[in-house]
Every structure is written in C-alpha cells, then in structure tokens.
Amino acid sequence: MEKFELHILGCGSALPTTRHFPTSQILNVRDKLFMIDCGEGAQLQFRKSRLKFSRLNHIFISHLHGDHCFGLLGLISTLNLLGRTAELHIHSPQGLEELLKPMLDFFNHQMTYPVVFHAFETKEPTLVYEDRSLTVTTIPLRHRMPTCGFLFAEKPRPNHIIREMIDFYQIPVYELNRIKNGADYVTPDGKTIPNSRLTRPSDPPRSYAYCSDTLPLASVVEQVRGVDLLFHEATFVEEDAARAKETYHTTASQAASIAREAGVKRLLVGHFSARYDNEELLLEQARAVFPETLLAKETLCVPI
Amino acid sequence: MEKFELHILGCGSALPTTRHFPTSQILNVRDKLFMIDCGEGAQLQFRKSRLKFSRLNHIFISHLHGDHCFGLLGLISTLNLLGRTAELHIHSPQGLEELLKPMLDFFNHQMTYPVVFHAFETKEPTLVYEDRSLTVTTIPLRHRMPTCGFLFAEKPRPNHIIREMIDFYQIPVYELNRIKNGADYVTPDGKTIPNSRLTRPSDPPRSYAYCSDTLPLASVVEQVRGVDLLFHEATFVEEDAARAKETYHTTASQAASIAREAGVKRLLVGHFSARYDNEELLLEQARAVFPETLLAKETLCVPI
C-alpha cells in the first residue's frame, strides 16, 4: 500500500515545556510531504524525522497564533540556504503574507525560490489543494481568531487490472482504461466478460482530518465523518472544561465524543496544555468515550 | 563564590541538524540571567535548563542573521502569556525593532510588559549594560553584516572585612567602608593598623567574552586579553579554511590562536557547521594550539 502516514513534529500548546514542541505535523502521501502548522522548532523536528525537505511543497497553517506559525521564518530561510528552487506554497487565513514578507525580505537577501502565499476564507469548507490522488479541504473551526482545520482525502482509485485475464481474453490495450473504470468486456464473438473477472478493487481511499485549535463543533462531526484518522486538539482534562470553553479549546472527552459521533476509525489527541506533567489522564478520559484513541507525541509516526 | 556560569542553549549554525539548536546562551551572574543571541528554539532550551524566565531582563543580539534571533518572537510571546510585568531589554545592532515590532503587535494584542529595544553602534567597543557588579561591553567583529560580540566583566569588589579584627580593635562602624576600600586604621592612641591585618582580598573579578560570528581578528585579541572564559565561534575545520574566509567565519585552530595570543584561561568553541557529523576534529585542531579548549554542547553549563 502506498504511503499515507502522519509524523508528529510537535504537539504542545503555546507555553513551552521540557517535553513538547509547539504544533507541527507532516503528512506523507506517497512521498509528497504536506506540513500542517509550523510552530517554533518545526524545522529542527523535521530534520530529526529524517524526512526530506525537498519533498515539501505545501504548508497549511490553521490560524495566526504564534505557536502555530513561528517556525515558518526559520524553515523558509533554511530552504533558501539549501538552494531550493521549487515554489513553496503556504496556505493560511488572511494576513500571514503581510506579516512575514518584511522579515523574509530582510533575512533572505536573495531568495533562491519563490514563496507563494494563498489566503483562504475560514467560514465555509474550501478546496485548497488538489492533485491526481489527493484533495485538501478546509474545516472551519471556532477559536479566538479565524481558524480552519484540514481534511486530506485520497481520491478513489480505479480498479486494478488482472493482467492474466487480459492476456487470456486477448483484450486490446485501448479497452484497458474503460475496464479499469468498471466496464465489462465484450469479446469479438459477442460474449460478455463481467468486470469483476477482469479486475480487483483498489485499496479504499484513505483520509486524515486535522482539527486544532477549536471549541468542540457539531459541524466538525459532519465534515470528518468516517475518516481513517482524526487529529483533534485536546488541550484540557474534563476538570478544566470551564477553562477550555473560555479559551476556545476542547477537552479530551469532548474530542472523543466528536470521534465517536463522527464514526472515525481512530482518534489522535494533541495540543496539550503545559499545565499537565503527563497526558495519561487525557488519554484515560478520551478512551472512556472512544477507545480507539492515541496520544500524540513528538517523533510519533502513525500509518493511516 | 557567587554564581557566574554559562549555559549553552544552542551551538549550531544556520542549518538545522539533529544534534544542535542554533545559537543561544544564558550567562547567570548571581541569579541575574543574561541571554546572548536567541536562535529558534531558545525558549524551549531555556525551559529545559530549569533556569527561571523571570530572572531574565536583558538579551544581547550579536547580529541580525536568523539563526541568532528567530527565537525572539516565541520567547517574547511566552513571557507575555506568563503575565510578565518587568521591562525586557533587547540590545542589538540597528534594525531589529523595526523588523520585530509589526509581528509583536499582531501576535500579542495586549502586552503585559514593555519590550525596550536598544540599538548599539558596531564600530567601536561600547558599554551597553552596567549595574553594581557587572559591565557589558560590545566587541566589534567582522562578519557579512554589522556584528558585535560581548564582554561581560565583573567589577572589582572591595576587600572583605575580618569581623574578628574589627571587634578586637573596637573599630567604629563609620570606619568600615573606608577600610573595605583599602584604608588602614589609626587607633585612638595613634597606632596604625595596616589594612592587610583587617581585611582579606575579595575574589578576583571574573570575565566572559562571546565572539560570534566573525573572521578571526587581532582587535579581538586585544579586547579579550586574560578573560576567564572566551567563547569563540569555530564554524569550520582547518581543511575548510577557504570556506571560512569566504563566509566570514573562523576555523577551530584560528579560534585557538586567538585564545593563546590573548592569554585567556579557557576557550569554548561553538557555532559548528552542519557539515560535520561530530566535532571531535574541531576539538583536536583547537587543542593542538590551545590545550584548554572545550566544545560547546546543548545543556552544557560552564562555571566561570
């Protein structure tokens, strides 16, 4: 099966701790790398992950809080030192380009590659990226400023042709695309060979949803229904639910409720408050609601 | 002896590696903390050092390259989240305030404390900080942009009074300051008690010099003469001397020559190029010239 795996570069929240970096993740889809959020130190963690900088072409920023984007300056500068020439696309809510541009201009006299900023609206789900095999759609969230999560969805793939059957029936090459897409084959003497004899189904398309930072939202449940992996922020334990609400964050059990209602396959929680010495209580509270819950952790890699 | 110790938060150079953070150090002088340079991740390393954020009031930035100052945004924002009220002073070459101000204003809507920027000239040694026990003076360096190192020097302290002798001669309290400063004491019946019987010398003043990034300079030798600890960048091994010159950096053996000529007590080398898998060769080359050389390393603490 082709690669579709998530690397956690950082899963802490705004205050630094001795255990966590601020938020950043890399989704590896068939060796194309997509970065989600870019907190301070993201490039250092990226390097540690042994993934290749050159495979990164798109960065998605959920919102303009420092713990989700202060790593951009360093990462962009490093790619410049490395002599990158390919465009780097940064997708974010409005405002990032204006903020970063003066610093990028000063700190990188001669850019070896273009940084292309794309601002997305944050009210409605919006397609922000598409290629042959993948779409990325925003997931509107509710935080203290315009914020979106991201839904990464593989496109359904055509069935696989069974080479031996093609040979057996001496099917001409120009028929193959139709057959891949589900058509039956009619032999020269008028016999119909059903598609199911000629192909086997491809792997079902996989999906990953990222939701941080946000209050728990019913609209998220709808949008992430059935995904293979849901990352949802779980900044606080249930006992700090009032604080979660006040700061527009989610508790571990609220995140788990969303996972359960949306019928996702697995839940990964992160964006942990600095107030906890470890995250065992968060995990316990989430698993009480949704057993298939994992804790995010720096250097964790989750195959999807 | 009162604290005078150096903590290495990062000692890599511009490109991230799996082993090093970019440049940042904390000098702890009697529990006042002074930060020198602030590369990306400095606040994370600061937290790991278990030193107290609240003890930091002055940051000295050598020059405006990203690997020496990209950590400022995160650190300043974190101190704001922590509700700091004391002024934070940032000393740097001209230009930093203009660059950081728009980002600080955006990312910290309500600052709980003032950040005060001080721009220093980079051509002549300049006193940039002074308190009762310490001075900080710039050390002009030669790099690809205006750059200074910093000389931290304790002020000489008055002698210590020997309490028993004061009691023995029944010396009145109002005489004590004069005696501390070296005066003899004349008894009511005209007998002179030499100062050396009444006091013992205080510890000699200590000093630390920081020089990064720079070509090797004769003027540095003059300015750091006899310091207890010299940090000097040693980005390259001797075999890469041409590259060092071209990029305005120093080799390990050049750094060691400066230490030897300046007669410093110990040399600490850092700012290692990402091209080396370890720094043993740098250490070897430096020690061949100046045996009292140490390699910088993250989390290293050097008492001075």
**Closest among B261, B148, B161 to B211, alpha carbons compared:** B148
Element holding B150 (H helix, E strand): strand B148-154
Residue A109 is assigned to a ligand binding site: no
Residues of B with CB under 8 A from a CB of A: 14-18, 21-22, 40-41, 43-44, 46-48, 64-67, 70-71, 73-74, 77-78, 81-82, 95, 99, 102-103, 106-107
Beta strand ranges found along A156-206 (DSSP E): 160-161, 185-186, 192-193, 199-200
Range scoring the smallest mean pLDDT among A155-169, A257-271, A281-295, B54-68: A155-169
Tell me, what amino acid is at B50? R
Q: Note whether B256 and B282 are within 8 A (CB).
A: no
The long-range contacts involving A167-175, CB below 8 angstroms and separated by at least 24 positions, are: A169/A193, A169/A198, A171/A198
Which residues of chain B have a pLDDT value below 50?
Answer: none
Choose from A40, A68, A111 for mutation: most chain B CBs within 10 A: A40
Rounded CA separation B291/A186 (Å): 86
Q: Do B81 and A21 touch (CB under 8 A)?
A: no
How far apart are alpha carbons B187 and B169 in whole angstroms? 8
pLDDT value, residue B109: 82
Res B1: pLDDT: 77
d(CA A262, CA A97): 35
Taking residues A66-81, report their average pLDDT: 97
Assess: ipTM above 0.90: yes
Name the band, by pLDDT with cuts 50, 70 and 90, for residue A75.
very high
Query: Measured between CB atoms, which of A14, A47, A73 is closest to B70?
Result: A73
Q: Spell out a b/e string for B24-53, using b for 16 or more CB atoms within 10 Å of the CB, else e.
A: bbbbbbeeebbbbbbbbbbbbbbbbbebee
CB contact under 8 A, A44 and B16: yes
Give CA–CA dist A146/A300, Å, rounded. Answer: 28
What CA–CA distance (Å, rounded) separates A140 from A146?
8
pLDDT for B235-278, tens place per residue? 999 999 999 999 999 999 999 999 999 999 999 999 999 999 99
Q: Which amino acid belongs to residue A218?
A: A
Q: Å from B63 to nearest chain A CA?
A: 11
CA dihedral angle for residue B173, residue B177, residue B180, residue B181, rounded to 10 degrees: -150
CA dist A109 and B144 (Å) reads 12
Q: Where are the beta strands (DSSP E) in chain A?
A: 4-10, 24-29, 32-38, 56-60, 88-93, 115-120, 127-130, 134-140, 148-154, 160-161, 185-186, 192-193, 199-200, 207-211, 229-233, 266-270, 293-295, 301-303
What domains can be seen in chain A, in order of their start residue? 4-157+203-303 (3.60.15.10), 160-200 (no CATH)
- CB–CB contacts below 8 A, A to B: 83
Q: Which entry of A37, A67, A105, A240 is annotated as an active-site residue?
A: A67
Cite the annotated binding site of B for Zn(2+) by residue number: 63, 65, 67-68, 143, 213, 271
- Please spell the DSSP secondary structure of B85-146, one letter per residue: -S-EEEEEETTHHHHHHHHHHHH-SS-SS-EEEEEE-SSS--EEEE-SSEEEEEEE--SSS-
Cα A81 to Cα A46, A53, A78, A268, B67, distances in angstroms? 16, 12, 5, 34, 12
Active-site residue, A184 included: no
Catalytic site residue from B31, B67, B189, B277? B67
The contact set of A with B (CB < 8 A) is: 14-18, 21-22, 40-41, 43-44, 46-48, 64-67, 70-71, 73-74, 77-78, 81-82, 95, 99, 102-103, 106-107
pLDDT band for position A83 (50/70/90)?
very high
Rounded distance, CA A66 to CA B104, Å?
Answer: 10
CA nearest to A51 within chain B: B18
Tell me if B78 and A14 make a contact (CB, 8 A cut-off): yes
pLDDT in tens, A177-193: 999 989 999 999 999 99
The alpha carbon of residue B69 is apart from the nearest alpha carbon of chain A, in Å, by 10
Please compute, for residue A117, the number of CA atoms within 13 A of its CA located in the half-sphere on the CB side. 15
Distance separating the N- and C-terminal Cα atoms of chain A: 10
Rounded to whole angstroms, how far apart are CA atoms B241 and B244? 5
Beta bridge partners, B90, equal B59, B117
Q: What one-letter code names the amino acid at B51?
A: L
Q: Do A44 and B40 touch (CB under 8 A)?
A: yes
Task: Using a pLDDT cut of 70, give the percent of chain A over it.
Answer: 100
CA distance B257 to chain A (A): 30
Question: In terms of C-beta density within 10 A (0-12 exposed, 13-18 middle, 19 or more buried), how is residue A169 classed?
Answer: middle
Q: Between A203 and A68, name the one with better pLDDT.
A: A68
Averaged pLDDT score across all residues of chain A: 96
Average pLDDT over residues A22-48: 97
Q: What is the DSSP annotation of B21-76?
A: --SEEEEEETTEEEEEEE-TTHHHHHHHTT--GGGEEEEE-----HHHHTTHHHHH
For position A1, what pLDDT does the model report? 76
Residues of A within 8 A of B16 (CB-CB) are 43-44, 46-47, 74, 78
pLDDT at residue A109, as a whole number: 82
Best of B78, B235, B275 to disrupt the A interface (most A CBs within 10 Å) is B78
Handedness of CA B163, B165, B166, B168 (dihedral sign): positive
Distance in Å, alpha carbon of B179 to nearest chain A alpha carbon:
49
Q: Using the beta-carbon criterion (under 8 Å), do B14 and A77 form an inter-chain contact? A: yes
Which residue from B minimizes the CA distance to A64? B107
Residue (of A129, A113, A35, A37) closest to A80 by Cα position:
A113
B22, closest residue in chain A (CA to CA):
A44
Contacts of A103 in chain B (CB under 8 A): 99, 103
